Amino acid sequence: MNTDQLNKRFSKSTAEEILEYFLKKFSEKIVLASSLGLEDQVLTDMALNIDPSAKIFFIDTGRHYQETYDVASETMKRYSMQYEVYFPDTEEVEKMMKTAGPNSFYESLELRKKCCEIRKIKPLLRALKNRKAWITGLRRDQGITRANIEKIEWDNAHNIIKINPIAQWTIDMVWDYIKKRDVPYNRLHKNGFPSIGCLPCTRAVANGGDIRSGRWWWESPEHKECGLHSNKHNGRE
């Protein structure tokens, strides 16, 4: 089945039904990418309810908020689970810090992308190695860069299937699930941070402000991605 057929098949399915199907289908070869954000916490709860041994990874960029580590710790205890953790390459970080300085991401788009490449994209390659599919918490209303995502996509960048079970959810649906299931969440979400990334590249947004406007706030909206989700869609499985 190609991704068009899969999207048709799951067009009326719940996020749980989609997760259950793919967790069973791919078993050890499917992994949930968690940034410890609200949406990823919803999927963590769902996935572990379906399969307590579901694989979930976290990329430790080395620049996260303490609150992000707090929610990781709380989640591990709540579900008696362990994350797969991926760090950036030590030598590459050392070289970048030495040559460009600790705040190079503010100086140019090129340097910001370089930092994301070293701290996020390369660790992601290791996390997805030998997988057949990955699961993300992307939602369409998270901004213009995500407006056209499908529930099931072919990820050209990594040559695997990418599953976005809550692509059609609104932020209210996410909060309803979190409250109903008493899912641990990052305290920063209650302090004006709808989207949380690395500390130096994330700030609070005004009430009602665009969800991703606090990420890389000095850049224009079309650049507000780190590259983790820059796949092209061609409908292949």
Say whether residue 96 binds ligand SF4 (CB under 6 A): no
Say whether residue 193 binds ligand SF4 (CB under 6 A): no
Q: What is the 3-state secondary structure (H, E, C) of 145-162?
A: HHCCCCCEEEECCCCEEE
What does the alpha-carbon distance between residue 215 and residue 237 come to, in Å, rounded to a whole number? 32
Say whether residue 65 binds ligand SF4 (CB under 6 A): no
Quick one: which segment of 30-38, 48-56, 115-123, 183-191 binds ligand SF4 (CB under 6 A)? 115-123
Contact 204, 196 (CB under 8 A): no
Supply the DSSP symbol for 215: B
The one-letter amino acid at 56: I
Quick one: which segment of 26-34, 46-54, 109-117, 170-178 binds ligand SF4 (CB under 6 A)? 109-117
Say whether residue 115 binds ligand SF4 (CB under 6 A): yes
Q: Beta-strand (E) ranges in the chain?
A: 30-33, 55-59, 84-86, 133-135, 152-155, 160-163
Which lies closer to ligand SF4 via its Cβ, residue 119 or residue 189? 119
Which lies closer to ligand SF4 via its Cβ, residue 46 or residue 201? 201
Contact 150, 167 (CB under 8 A): yes
Quick one: which segment of 23-31, 111-119, 122-130, 217-225 binds ligand SF4 (CB under 6 A)? 111-119
* Of the candidate residues 18, 116, 124, 174, the single one contacting ligand SF4 (CB under 6 A): 116
Chain positions 196 to 215 lying near ligand SF4, rule: CB under 6 A, are: 197-198, 200-201
What does the alpha-carbon distance between residue 57 and residue 207 come to, in Å, rounded to a whole number? 31
Say whether residue 226 binds ligand SF4 (CB under 6 A): yes
The secondary structure of the chain in percent helix, strand, coil, rounded to multiples of 5, reads 45, 10, 45
Say whether residue 54 binds ligand SF4 (CB under 6 A): no
Residues that bind ligand SF4 (CB under 6 A): 61, 63, 105, 112, 115-116, 119-120, 197-198, 200-201, 226
